[in-house]
Amino acid sequence: MSTGFFEGIEKVSFEGEGSTNPLAFRHYNPDELVMGKRMEDHLRFAVAYWHSFAWEGGDPFGGQTFVRPWHPQDDMGRAKLKADVAFKMFDLLNVPFFCWHDADIRPEQGYFADNLATLEEITDYIGEKMQASRTGLLWGTANMFSDRRWMSGAATNPDPDVFAFAAATVKSCMDATHKLGGQNYVLWGGREGYETLLNTDLGQELDHMGRFLNMVVEYKHKIGFKGAILVEPKPQEPSKHQYDYDAATCIGFLRKYGLEDEVKLNLEQGHAILAGHSFEHEIAVAASEGMLGSIDMNRNDYQSGWDTDQFPNNTPEVALAYYHILKAGGFDTGGTNFDAKLRRQSLDPQDLIAAHVGGMDICARGLKAAAAMVEDGGLEQALTERYAGWSAPAAQAMLGSDLGSITDRVLAEAINPEPRSGRQEMLENYVNRFV
Ligand code: XLS
Ligand code: NI
Ligand code: NI
């Protein structure tokens, strides 16, 4: 099928910092080496199918603003047109990856058998397009939150028939992800949570979620899927309380159900903010447990208090996120997904391209700043100095000791700690030299 949606828009290229072309990269230069590795291979950008192509621009007060030739998504012809337009955009942006939910790429049918048939048909079609494209699949996932059947959750639904429908849906999406060579499979707990504890057996729901995720891992091994299984934390919205609240909560959950070696995390900037954390906090928590998988690099409006899914535009924040990612060794199967949507007034095809260009450029700029900080070593050195006392043999021995022996030593040596500056402002000024 041919599509003229992006007619008149040229393939986006790197023009350097001096460029004033709004549809050119000023920082993202895929082949440029950063710490000895191509920028593209560090960042591993992905376009989110749902916000860019499926979303029609509605908000709680009004409906569709985006009038696209592939809306509404209720038949296979329009689903294929949408795929054609999507792959055209992947090519214009030269992105290495994209991501989807089942519901973004196929029409919703009602019966599972019909959903399965349309999913197979559209993923065959997408597979053919991928043959002719350089864009691969970063991850697939199941939308188990939009249709009304999911209103009380999927794996945590009080109705076992919904659990069954969820199991079949996830199996179909894992099969499709595997077929398309996906590098990860993501589970964001859309409505896995509650509206009120008055009607919720929290303990039973968590046990069901733990068993469900174990089935996902068992199935991954059964089909020989080599990618990572990732869980995406979020504290609330759509549920009042989501079980996968934040990175620390997810890690505790994964350990409880024996999944700590099998599942990693997909962290989203905006979700970190909703949970009352900085993004780098969430990244550092996951990295400290070896569970950093992938990121959704979309921000929230800081005044709004909900998940506004905007493209990133804050270099200092992005730089600190990549600093912690670089410190953790960078991405393996993960990448930088833009789980980000246009504002509903941004109607034009150019807006969609410009949003991604800006997001990619900010990430590239942040990555370069992060790499410069790693190479300079100033933050690392400050840490080394701050914790230097712990390299003393007596300090190390204390960790293998006990409260009584430590007390004896405090008395014998008249230990009386001398407070030292944490130097926060000096470190903030240091970071500002790079961003
Ligand atoms: C919603 C989530 C969602 C996941 C994929 O807030 O970010 O988009 O990334 O289901
Ligand atoms: Ni989100
Ligand atoms: Ni997300």
Nearest CA to ligand 1 atom 10: 188
d(CA 32, CA 36): 9
Report the nearest atom of ligand 1 relative to the CA of 268.
Answer: 7
Which residue out of 173, 268, 274 has the highest number of ligand 1 atoms within 8 Å of its CB and is therefore the one to mutate?
268
Angle at alpha carbon of residue 177, lines to 114 and 11, rounded to 5°: 105
Which ligand neighbours the alpha carbon of 51 most closely? Answer: 1
How many angstroms separate the alpha carbon of residue 17 from the centre of ligand 1?
33
| Main-chain phi, psi angles of 342, to 5 degrees | -65, 160
**Are 204 and 160 within 8 A, CB to CB?**
no
Nearest CA to ligand 1 atom 4: 188
Report the nearest atom of ligand 1 relative to the CA of 145.
Answer: 10
Which residue out of 138, 232, 246 has the highest number of ligand 1 atoms within 8 Å of its CB and is therefore the one to mutate?
232
CATH architecture of 33-376: Alpha-Beta Barrel (3.20)
How many angstroms separate the alpha carbon of residue 175 from the centre of ligand 2?
24
Report the nearest atom of ligand 1 relative to the CA of 143.
Answer: 10
Report the nearest atom of ligand 1 relative to the CA of 51.
Answer: 8
How many angstroms separate the alpha carbon of residue 268 from the centre of ligand 2?
6
User: How many other β-carbons are positioned within 10 Å of the β-carbon of residue 327?
Assistant: 16
What is residue 2's predicted lDDT score, i.e. its pLDDT?
54
**SS3 for 98?**
strand
Q: Residues 211-254: pLDDT tens digits? A: 999 999 999 999 999 999 999 999 999 999 999 999 999 999 99
Which residue out of 191, 266, 339 has the highest number of ligand 1 atoms within 8 Å of its CB and is therefore the one to mutate?
339
Report the nearest atom of ligand 1 relative to the CA of 266.
Answer: 9
Reported pTM: 0.97
Q: Residues 323-333: pLDDT tens digits? A: 999 999 999 99
Binding residues for Mg(2+): 232, 268, 271, 296, 307, 309, 339
Nearest CA to ligand 1 atom 6: 307
**Are 99 and 138 within 8 A, CB to CB?**
yes
How many angstroms separate the alpha carbon of residue 309 from the centre of ligand 2?
6
Which ligand neighbours the alpha carbon of 297 most closely? Answer: 3
How many angstroms separate the alpha carbon of residue 308 from the centre of ligand 2?
8
Residues of the chain with CATH 3.20.20.150: 33-376
Residue 107 preceded by cis peptide, ω within 30: no
| Main-chain phi, psi angles of 421, to 5 degrees | -65, 140
How many angstroms separate the alpha carbon of residue 233 from the centre of ligand 2?
9
Which residues contact ligand 1 via a Cβ below 6 A?
A: 101, 141, 186, 188, 232, 234, 268, 296, 307, 339
Angle between helices 160-179 and 112-131 (to 10 degrees): 20
By the CB criterion, residues less than 5 angstroms from ion ligand 3 are 268, 296, 339
The catalytic residue positions are 101, 104
The token duo for 131 is: 């043959």
**Within the chain, which residues score under 50 in pLDDT?**
none
What is residue 38's predicted lDDT score, i.e. its pLDDT?
98
**Are 85 and 49 within 8 A, CB to CB?**
no
Which ligand neighbours the alpha carbon of 299 most closely? Answer: 2
**Are 137 and 182 within 8 A, CB to CB?**
yes
| Identity at 214, one-letter amino acid code | N
| Identity at 258, one-letter amino acid code | G
